[in-house]
Amino acid sequence: MAKGSLSVFFAMILVSIMCVLFTMGECVRLYEIQNFAKQDTDMAVESTFSEYNPYLWTNYKILAIDLGYGSMNEGPGIMEQKTYDYCKFNTNIDNGYNFFGLSIDSCNTKDYSLLTDEKGAGVISLGIKASKQEMASQIIDGIQDHIDSVNNIEKIPVEEKAKAAKESLNNAREALEEEKRKARESKADDTVATDYPEPGEVEDNPLDAFDLLKESFSRGVLATVINTDKLSDSSVENMGALPSHRKLLEGTRDIENGYSLVDKALFIDYLMTNYSYFGSDINHDGLKYEVEYLLSGKGTDPQCLASVVEQILIVRECANYKTILNNPSMVAQAGAIAETLAGFTMNPAIVEAVKYGVIGAWAYAEAVLDVRLLLSGGKVAPIKTLDQWTSDIWHLSKVTNVNFKAKDCGSGTGYKEYLMAFLALRANEKLAMRALDIMENALNSTEDYKETKVDNMLWAADMELTYSAEEKFLSLFAGGNAKRGEIGKYYFVTNKSISY
């Protein structure tokens, strides 16, 4: 057997070399442990965020985690435990994945954002992202054109003019009857009742037709413009329980607000693409006229639609009033009727007031026809020409027939474009909160998500995970008799900010 010897000096050098090698090895290991901690954090957090609510994504293109996971639990506790479990699985050496002895110690959510925070800022942000990010500028300009074609129409108190004309005419007739009465009772021979002119009449008084239409509207707006048998009767059971009405849970993360005109156009495109409205082919649980709810906030589908119809009617009657004033022949017809009805007063001011009242009644009647056309899928020019006009001032009572509608202009503004224009007038925050109403109502209409609340749904978070690892190479110098716990440990803190 060969024998060898080792000098004390060489032994001391060898120990120094081993110390350097083990230290370098521990440094490399420490560097890699930090990388593994970051990698494990990314995988665990992203795995947790992959568990978004599928119903919201499928129906509304909104990504969010239900923090209750189908239960009544509030806050991020369950999500933190899931993240911890994912990370523990990834770092478990028994699974054959951890070669560096790294173990997860804790998982905490430092800050998080709920869909309802800052008046629905999450819905606005996610809605903009869900819309076509590469939307061409000409498409955005097209949306703006539709908005301008509706919102730039001068608002004129058309109905007030018609009501005032009818009132002036009635007052004049009452004054005439009073004068006749006095003449009949007077003993003087110079004046008799037959000396006073009789009020004129037309076969189909436009002001009377206006009264009939308004009376019909007071009984039921929709019954005047559409066959109500085909309408949805969906409703919200408890308006006070909706997100826009109740006290909400709040997240802890700061959210930056501020939206450009392009953002507004994208948000409108998102709403019109993913929410149902009258005449659309989208069918969600809960309310069927969702865009109409965004605009009105009413509790039933018929109420929501009726509110939008009234808004369209106001725009159309103003536009039609302008059309009449731009056509001398139409003004002349109104003037002839006014002269017939109010000429007995021999008061030019009253005749003039009646003329503009007749114009108002005519514009209103045409607007009713326009709304019927729009609800049937047709389009109306923002400001009509004489060729596009439908109603006849001498026969306005025909407008009371619900099947009578305006001529289709072929091009112009349809019902969808009116909805877009009205959405542009609403604040993003108001639309976002009502969108949350719709989403929660739809979720709660299903068996799987009847307990889900949108103010317990997370869309962004700042996560903090802590890890520990024992020394390996340097611990060899502790000696063979070292007990567990005497060996040194490393501690790591990793942070992950994530949002949909």
The predicted structure's pLDDT at residue 485: 44
Question: Which pLDDT tens digit goes with each residue over 231-279?
Answer: 899 999 899 999 999 999 999 998 877 788 888 888 999 999 999 999 9
Question: Which pLDDT tens digit goes with each residue over 299-352?
Answer: 999 999 999 999 999 999 999 999 999 999 999 999 999 999 888 888 889 899
Burial of 16 (0-12, 13-18, 19+ CB in 10 A): exposed
Amino acid identity of 5?
S
Domain ranges across the chain: 13-118+453-499, 131-444
Q: Are 277 and 268 in contact (CB under 8 A)?
A: no
Give the whole-angstrom CA distance, residue 224 versus residue 424.
27
Residue 411: DSSP 8-state: S
Sign of the CA dihedral 290, 294, 299, 300?
negative
In this structure, of 138-152, 353-367, 374-388, the range with the lowest mean pLDDT score is: 138-152
| pTM summary value | 0.83
In this structure, of 79-83, 179-183, 467-471, the range with the lowest mean pLDDT score is: 179-183
For the chain, what is the radius of gyration of the CA atoms?
38
The predicted structure's pLDDT at residue 100: 67
Q: How confident is the model at residue 481 (pLDDT cuts 50, 70, 90)?
A: very low
Nearest to 287 by CA among 295, 274, 275: 275
- Considering all CA atoms of the chain, what is the largest pairwise distance in Å, rounded to the nearest integer? 165
Which residues contact residue 236 at a Cβ distance below 8 angstroms, ignoring those fewer than 6 apart? 242, 286, 287, 299, 300, 437, 441
Q: How confident is the model at residue 389 (pLDDT cuts 50, 70, 90)?
A: very high
Give the whole-angstrom CA distance, residue 484 versus residue 463.
31
